[in-house]
Amino acid sequence: MKEFLVRVVVEPKPELLDPQGQAVERALVELGLKNVSQTRVGKCITFRLKAISASQARQRVTEIAQKFLANPVIERFSVEVEEL
């Protein structure tokens, strides 16, 4: 068994409005960061996971993220797996 650092990023779908992202974008511009666009605010779930391989870890996490971590009606997610 190897140990992996897994990160699941859950964001509002691109076609949906993200009021929190819009508020952050306005604030970034006011703070002097020009040329900002497409700001989205999401959740980030990070954990360590023991698994046989990176592909097995990714597959198991993806199955669970689909059911539990993301709401597929309004959110999309990505899974990142890095060996420790």
List interacting residues with its own copies (CB under 8 A). 1, 9, 11, 21, 24-25, 27-28, 31-51, 60-61, 64, 67-69
- Reading the block at residue 58, the tokens are 């990714």
Q: Minimum distance between the CB of residue 66 and its own copies, rounded to whole angstroms?
A: 11
Measure CA of the first residue to CA of the last residue in the chain; give whole Å: 12
CB 84 within 8 A of CB 5: yes
Q: Minimum distance between the CB of residue 73 and its own copies, rounded to whole angstroms?
A: 20
Q: Which is nearer to its own copies, 67 or 73 (CB)?
A: 67
CB 84 within 8 A of CB 7: no
